[in-house]
Structures are given as C-alpha cells and as structure tokens.
Amino acid sequence: MKYKINGFLYYDATDATLSINDEGTSDTQLSITANALLYFLLQQPGVITRDEIMEKVWDDNGLTSSNGNLNQYLSLLRKSFRHYQIDNFIITVSRGRLEINKDITVEVVDDNHMHPLFICEEEERVTPEEPAEKPNKTTYSEQTDAQEQRWMIGSAILFVAALALLWTAIISERSINIVQLNPVSAEICELFSNEKIINAEMGESYLNSFNAVREKLGISCNKERRFVFYYSDKFQNKGLGRTFMAQCAKNENNPYAYCDNYFYYSWK
C-alpha cells in the first residue's frame, strides 16, 4: 500500500518509509510500531478512540499497550511529518480521540481498490438498477452461453495472475535479507545487537551506552527478558544519534514472544 500526502510526500506501508523525489536524500525509515500505527490511522476515515488504536496496533499483535507508548509514537509520527513541513498531521479532538487532519490530502497511489477510500467512492456511484425482465427460453439459452464464455475468460485471467504471483514470490524470496542478532552480553541483561561487535572496546561501549539508555528509561533487567539495542553514532560526538531499544519477553518456545520498542532520532 502506497500513499501520496499533500501531493509531494510518499508513504510506503510495505517498506515503512516516508520519502520525496530527491533520490533518497530525505527518506525517513519508520520503526515497526510507528509504521503499524500510521498505516492503521490512514485506514480509518474519521475520528477514532485511543482504546481502539491500542487494541488494534498493540494488543492484537501481542504487544503491551499503554497511553505512554501511544503518546510516544504519536509524537514520533508528528515529528517525522514536521520534518517535511507538514504540521498537525494527527490531531486530537474531544475526549482525547484522534483523527488525521482533514486539511491534509491523502491519496492512494498503488491502485489497490480494496482500500476503504475506494470502497466509499464505489458505494457513492452505485445507483439502483431496474429489475430485469423474466427471460424466455430463447433469451435464457443465449445468457447461459455468454456466462460460460465469461467464466472461461475469468478462469484464464485468474490462472495467469496466479502464475505472476508465484513468480513474484520466488523472486522476493531470493531477495530477502535475514537480520542476524549478535550477542553483546549474556549476564542478567541479555543484550543483542544487529551489528557485529568487532573488538572489546566496541563491546564495552555498546554495553555502557545500553545501560545509560535503559536506566534513564527506568527499565530493569531480569532473566525473563531479552534486549536488542542499536545506536548510530559510535564515537558519540553528539550523543548516541539514532537510538533503538527493544525489551522482549521470552519463553521456552519463543525468545521474542512480545516486545516493547523505543526509538529516538537523536539521543543526547
């Protein structure tokens, strides 16, 4: 699903990106939770309650919902849109409910006619049809032949479409990149990173930076949790830069049963 916002900003729900036509210079990569929240809001025409948002985005996906988490990701999305000079993209209405600003134009640009925007337009264009006359025997025979031809054409189209989807799936499967998580610490705080720890200095810096972020957020360690941590400014010239941390509950079947994610554009 791909959207065009205010005629110049593109949101790709599949890639979780906000972009303009500048060869990727100003692209913004959204986190998994922020992408799920934005996609859900765009699918809901009109006002929606906070409880419904938390249920659909967090609870239904096995995550722990809270007003704090919702406020954090709403703030993150608003900040992302302000980066493109779009203010008040998500507004709060009476009783704390939320909606997309009606002054902002949102277009679906990938021709997916199952989207609610297209469904509403189709319903408005539908007019009542006059009841068909009861066909006689000759007319009934002609309609049956025409219907059979339509079924044959439709079946052929579906078969070609299925082959195209199969070919697309094969190509996509070959291009999937699996992210490998590397252990940083195996103590009480079981810590992993998507980057390879190349030496002891990097490992110590990673652990110290992780503990600083964790303690500031008031998150404690225990044997039932795993943590994933990343920060972009390895030399910490101006803080940690883009920072991501996930605390995940684990069980005997799944080491990442569910996770709470924290993302910051510039951690000082």
Answer with the one of 69, 90, 118 that is the final residue of a domain.
Answer: 118
Q: Which residue has better confidence, 24 or 16?
A: 16
Total of domains in the chain: 2
* Residue range 57-69: mean pLDDT, rounded: 87
Q: Residue 19 above 50 pLDDT?
A: yes
- What is the chain's mean pLDDT, rounded? 81
CA atoms within 13 A on the CB side of 182: 13
* Residue range 11-33: mean pLDDT, rounded: 86
Report helix, strand or coil for 76: helix
Q: State residue 124's pLDDT score.
A: 53
Q: Residue 131 above 50 pLDDT?
A: yes
Q: Specify if 17 maps to a domain.
A: yes
Q: With cut-offs at 50, 70 and 90, classify the pLDDT of residue 92.
A: confident
Provide the H-helix boundaries in 175-256: 200-216
Q: Which residue has better confidence, 188 or 80?
A: 80
* Residue range 5-17: mean pLDDT, rounded: 88
* Residue range 119-127: mean pLDDT, rounded: 52
Distance (Å, whole) CA 75 – CA 15: 21
Answer with the one of 66, 93, 118 that is the final residue of a domain.
Answer: 118
Q: Specify if 141 maps to a domain.
A: no
Report helix, strand or coil for 190: strand
Where is average pLDDT lowest: 84-88, 112-116, 256-260? Answer: 112-116
* Residue range 37-48: mean pLDDT, rounded: 87
Amino acid identity of residue 16, one-letter, is A
* Residue range 6-27: mean pLDDT, rounded: 85
Same domain membership, residue 101 and residue 13: yes
* Residue range 126-132: mean pLDDT, rounded: 53
CA distances from 11 to 42, 140, 167 (A): 10, 50, 26
Q: Specify if 60 maps to a domain.
A: yes
Q: Specify if 158 maps to a domain.
A: no
Q: Specify if 123 maps to a domain.
A: no
Q: State residue 162's pLDDT score.
A: 87
Q: State residue 227's pLDDT score.
A: 92
Q: Specify if 75 maps to a domain.
A: yes
Strand partners, 113: none
Q: Specify if 162 maps to a domain.
A: no
Burial class (CB in 10 A: 0-12, 13-18, 19+), 51: middle
Q: Specify if 263 maps to a domain.
A: yes
Q: State residue 125's pLDDT score.
A: 54
Q: Residue 200 above 50 pLDDT?
A: yes
- Report helix, strand and coil shares of the chain as percent, to nearest 5: 40, 20, 40
Q: State residue 117's pLDDT score.
A: 47
Report helix, strand or coil for 139: helix
Q: Which residue has better confidence, 142 or 31?
A: 31
Q: State residue 140's pLDDT score.
A: 45
Same domain membership, residue 110 and residue 35: yes
Q: Residue 154 above 70 pLDDT?
A: yes
pTM attached to this predicted model: 0.44
Q: Are 54 and 41 in contact (CB under 8 A)?
A: no
Radius of gyration (Cα) for the chain, nearest Å? 25
Distance (Å, whole) CA 260 – CA 250: 12
- Parent domain of 241: 182-267
